A and B are shown apart, each in its own frame.
Chain A
C-alpha cells in the first residue's frame, strides 16, 4: 500500500492484562485529515501513540510511509522524523527559550547549524503567529501560546504527518480558538493529520473522516458530515448526544 501514509493492521495493545486496543485496522491516505473521538479510556490516545511508538504495540503491524515499526531503532528514528506530535500538556522544554525549543531538536536530529536551525524555527513560529515570543521561556506564555509553539516545534522537523493528542483539552476555553485556528490552517495546507479531539466543530470543518472508538475498538468511521448527521451505531449516538448537549452550555 504505497499511497497510504499510515496503515494499521490488526493492532492490539495490552497494558498488563488490560486491553487498550483490540485488533484495530485503520488506513490514512496521504493528505487525509482524520479525527479520532470517543469516550475516555476508549484507546484513542494509545492508538496515535502507537503510530510513533511512544507505546509499543503488542500485536499486529503498523506501517508509516511504508516503513514498518519494529524493534529496528534506525527505522524508528526515520519514522519519528516524518511524524510530528502535539501533546495535551504541550511538553515544551522549560529550561530552553521558545526559539531554542524549536531550534535545538533540528540541530540534534537534522544536524543543522545553529543559524540554519534558528532560521527555520523563526519561520515556523511566524507561521504559528508566535514569533514575537521567541526570546521568552515557556512558563512566560499562556497555554494557547505554548501549544502553538509546540505545533511550530513539531513543524520545524518538516514532518509529513502530524499527530495531535487532545491538543486543546488542557487549555482555558478562551484559548481553544487560537489553537484550532492554527490546526485548520495546517489542514488546509494539505498536511496528513490524525487528531484526537472532542472539538466537534473542528472535526466538521477540517476533517475528511471521523473515527469513533469505544473500548479499544473502532466502532464507526465515516466522512464528517455523515458521521454527525447520520450516526449509525448506538454508542456513537449516545456519545454525540452527550458531547453536543454539553457544547452550547459551555459556549
Chain B
C-alpha cells in the first residue's frame, strides 16, 4: 500500500490523449487549434508553392520567369557572384572564397574549448587574419593587388564581423577592468569613454572614421579606410560589451576575488583565472546577443561605400534585367544572414548547456 501511494500514476502518453489534452481540451481550444492550424498550413502551402513548386530554377529558363507564378531563382545564378563577391575582380573570386573560408574556419576553431587560452587564441586569430589579408589583398606570391575599396560581398561581411569582435573583445575587457579600477582617474576615464561612445549613433561614428578623420589626421597616421572603419566599429562594440562584462563581474560574490587574493594570486591571475571566466559564463546570453547584433549591423558600412553582402544584393537588382527579382535576392541574402546568426545562437545554446554541466 505504502509503495503505491508513493508512485505517481503512469501518465497516458498516447497521441490521442496528448492531442486532447493540449489542443482540444474544450470547444474554444479546438476552435483556436483548427483556425491557426489552417492558417499555418496555408502559409506553408504558399511559401513552398512560391519557392519550390512554381519556381524557375535555371538561367536558361529565365524567359519563363515573367509567366511563372513562383520565384525566379535564375537571378541567383546570374547575379550570385556579384552578391557574394561584390566588386572583387572576377578572375580573382577564388581568392575571396578561400579568404572567407579561412575566417569562417578560424571562427569555428575558436569555438573549440581547446583554443581558449591566452596563448592559443591570439595565435589562431593572427594566422587566420594573416591568411585572409594575404589572399584578399595580394601583392605577394604572384597574387595581383586588390585594394580594400574593391573588397566586397560575403568575404567583407565576415571579415568586418570577425575583426570587430576580435579587436573589440580584448578592448571591452580592458574597459570593463578599467571601469572597476579603484583609481578614480582610470575608472572615470573608462566610464567617460563608454558613455560618450554609447550615446553616439554607430552611423555617425563610422562616418567620422571614414570621412572626417582624413581631414584632421596627418596622412601617415590615417591608415586604410576599411581599417579605420573596422577600428571605429570595434570601439563601439567594445563599449557595449564592456558593460556586459562589468555586469558579469558584479554578479560574482566578492568572496571569489578575496579567496584568490588570500591564496596569494596576483591581480592578473585573479582577473583571468577567477573573475573573467565566471563573468563570461554569467553573461553568455547577452554576449551572444551582442555578437548577433554586431553581425547584422555590419551592413551599415554600405553608407561609406563598402559593398558587403547586403549592399551587393542591392546592387544585383539595382540595374539591368533583374529589377523585378528583388524579393528572391533579399531572400537569398536573408538566408545567408540566417545561416550565420542561427549557427551563432545554436553555439551559444550549446555553450550554456555545457557551462551548466560544469564542463567548460
Which residues of A come within 8 Å of B, CB atoms?
Answer: 52, 54, 77, 80-81, 83-85, 87, 89, 91-95, 104-105, 108-109, 137, 139-140, 150, 153-154, 157
B-side contacts of A91, CB under 8 Å: 253, 255-256, 258-259
Report the Cα distance A137→B278, complex, angstroms.
14
Contacts of A54 in B (CB 8 A): 258, 261-262
Mark interface residues in B258-275 (1 if CB within 8 Å of A CB, else 0): 111111111001000110
Interface pair B358/A105, CB less than 8 Å apart: no
Q: How far is the CA of A94 from the CA of B260 in the complex (A)?
A: 13
Query: Given the complex, which residues of A lie within 8 Å of B258, measured CB to CB?
Result: 54, 87, 91
Contact: B274 with A93, CB < 8 Å?
A: yes
A109 touches B265 (CB 8 A): yes
Q: Is the CB of B255 within 8 A of A105?
A: no
Closest CB-CB distance, B221 to chain A, in whole Å? 37
A166 to B281: give the CA distance in the assembly, Å: 29
| Contact status A108-B278, CB under 8 Å | no
B-chain residues with CB within 8 Å of residue A95 when the two chains form the complex:
277-278, 281, 358, 360
The reply to whether A87 and B263 form a contact with Cβ atoms under 8 Å apart is no
B261 and A109 within 8 A (CB)? no
The reply to whether B264 and A77 contact each other, CB–CB distance below 8 Å, is yes
Q: Is the CB of B358 within 8 A of A157?
A: no
In the docked arrangement, what's the CA distance between A91 and B259, Å?
A: 6
Residues from chain B with a CB closer than 8 A to the CB of A89 are: 253, 255
6 CB contacts below 8 A, A to B, read A54-B258, A77-B264, A89-B253, A91-B253, A95-B278, A95-B358
Contacts A91-B255, A109-B265, A137-B358 known; 13 new A-B pairs at CB < 8 A: A80-B264, A83-B262, A87-B258, A89-B255, A91-B253, A91-B259, A93-B256, A93-B278, A94-B278, A94-B358, A95-B281, A105-B260, A139-B358
CA of A89 to CA of B257, assembled, Å? 13
A154: min CB distance to chain B, Å:
7
- Contact residues in B for A140 (Cβ distance below 8 Å): 358
A86 to chain B, nearest CB (A): 9
> What is the bound-complex CA distance between A95 and B277, given in angstroms?
8
Chain B 236-252, CB within 8 Å of chain A: the 1/0 string?
00000000000000000
A52: chain B residues at CB < 8 Å are: 261-262
When C-beta atoms are compared, the residue in chain A nearest to B262 turns out to be A85
From residue A79, how far is it (CB to closest CB) to chain B in Å?
9
Bound: A54/B255 CA distance, A: 10
CA distance A150 to B205 in the complex (A): 49
CB neighbours (8 Å) of A77 from chain B are 264, 266
A84 to B360, CA, bound (A): 28
Measured in the bound complex, the distance between the Cα atoms of B269 and A77 in whole Å is: 13
In the bound complex, residues from chain B placing their C-beta under 8 Å from that of A139 are 358
Cα of A216 to Cα of B259 in the assembled complex, Å: 24
Q: Which residue of chain B is the closest to A49 with respect to CB atoms? A: B258
In the assembled complex, the Cα of A89 lies from the Cα of B266 at a distance in Å of 22
